Amino acid sequence: MATFLGINLFGLFGQLLVGLINGSFYALLSLGLAIIFGLLKIINFAQGAMYMLGAFAAWLALNYLGINYWAALVVVPLVVGLVGVLMERFLIRPIANEDHLYSLLLTFGFALMLQGLFTHMYGSSGLSYSIPEALSGGTKLPFMYLPDYRAWIICASVVVCGLTWWMIEKTKLGAYLRAGTENPQLMQAFGINVPLIVTLTFGFGVALAGLAGVMAAPIYSVTPDMGSNLLIVVFAIVVIGGMGSIGGAILTGLGMGVIEGLTKYFYPEASNTVIFLVMVIVLLLKPAGLFGKEA
């Protein structure tokens, strides 16, 4: 662009902020996966479908039950989390002792079925969900216009990510969980119901995807394939951050949002590959990921 140097700084600030917003969204999404994939070691390819389910549930709740956005933020993750609990109990647990590939294929097939079902019922062009009244405005910053809804995403994401991190790393419940995934036999010997912890944790991870789906509904088109588009990126973020590291997934999510945002500014054509480029470099230099403890 001819005026590129003239607007350089302001343009850059805008892009950085947009990158941070997207990053906080990525952080929220990768958090659930980091728990399921990183802690429970279950490869859940249905995580994207659960995100889609969250967005559709928000739309259905609004249009059929009159449940507004704010209530959906609470109700929908519970419902989606319940789906996750049932999924873990009846689909994943029976094959828990098999090779990881089994759960990958099972969840992938489940995701395809869900996606096909929603395409059949609601078509592929998507549904419209408005931004809630209270957040529909925006603030004029010196370098850009910041929509209130995006500011809300940053705040909500920081709170949810912070709470989750604290719960897993700092509380007794979190300690049980980490120990239970590390050495289930020993924990069971102590009288801890490890299978129950695993089921609930899986449900919680899935509920986070549902929450992200509700938050995405007003700004992105609600379509059956919205999850499958994001899933691979989110997996890449968890891998870059390092398996098993909750904090790593959060920080990597933020960082990747910024890197992707800058790529969109300087060379948009590469914006959907840059994260994978980073993943290749990180895996070559640090196979365990940026914050991972072991490979």
Partner 1 sequence: MKMMKKTLLAASVAAFASTGAMAEISDGKVKIGVLADMGGVYADICGQGCVTATQMAVEDFGGTVLGAPIEIVSADDQLKPDVGSAIVRKWVENEQVDAVGGMVSSAVTGAATKVTTDAKKIALISTSASNAFTTKQCSPYNVHWTYNVVALAKGTVKPMVEAGKKKWFFITADYAFGHALEGVATKVIEENGGEVVGAARAPLGTTDFSSYILQAQSSGADVVALANAGNDTVNSLKAASEFGLTQMMDVAGLLVFTPNAQAMDPNVAGGMRTTTGFYWDLDEKTREWSKRFMERHGSIPAMGHAGAYSMTMHYLKAIEAAGTDDSDAVIRKMKEMKPDDFFSRNATLRNDGRMVHDMYYVEIKKPDERRDDNDIFKVVSTIPGDQAYAPMLPECDFK
232 counts as binding partner 1 under rule CB under 8 A: no
Copy the structure tokens of residue 158. Answer: 């920081």
**Min dist. Cβ of residue 122 to partner 1 (A):** 10
Which residue of 142, 172, 268, 294 would you call a contact of partner 1, by CB under 8 A?
Answer: 268
How far is residue 174's CA from residue 165's CA, in Å, rounded to a whole number? 9
**Min dist. Cβ of residue 197 to partner 1 (A):** 34
**Min dist. Cβ of residue 2 to partner 1 (A):** 8
Which residue of 127, 161, 211, 254 would you call a contact of partner 1, by CB under 8 A?
Answer: 127
219 counts as binding partner 1 under rule CB under 8 A: yes
Q: Which is nearer to partner 1, 128 or 185 (CB)?
A: 128
Which residue of 221, 277, 280, 287 would you call a contact of partner 1, by CB under 8 A?
Answer: 221
Measured in whole angstroms, how far is the alpha carbon of residue 283 from the centre of its chain? 21
Contact at 8 Å (CB) between 20 and 177? no
Q: Which is nearer to partner 1, 115 or 201 (CB)?
A: 115
195 counts as binding partner 1 under rule CB under 8 A: no
Which residue of 73, 75, 93, 271 would you call a contact of partner 1, by CB under 8 A?
Answer: 271
**Which span (55-63, 69-77, 138-146, 237-245) binds partner 1, by CB under 8 A?**
138-146
Contact at 8 Å (CB) between 35 and 204? yes
272 counts as binding partner 1 under rule CB under 8 A: yes
**Which span (45-53, 125-133, 167-175, 234-242) binds partner 1, by CB under 8 A?**
125-133
Q: Which residues bind partner 1 (CB under 8 A)?
A: 1-3, 7, 10-11, 14-15, 18-19, 21-22, 116, 119, 123-131, 138, 144-145, 147, 149-150, 219-221, 223, 225-226, 229-230, 261, 264-265, 268-269, 271-272
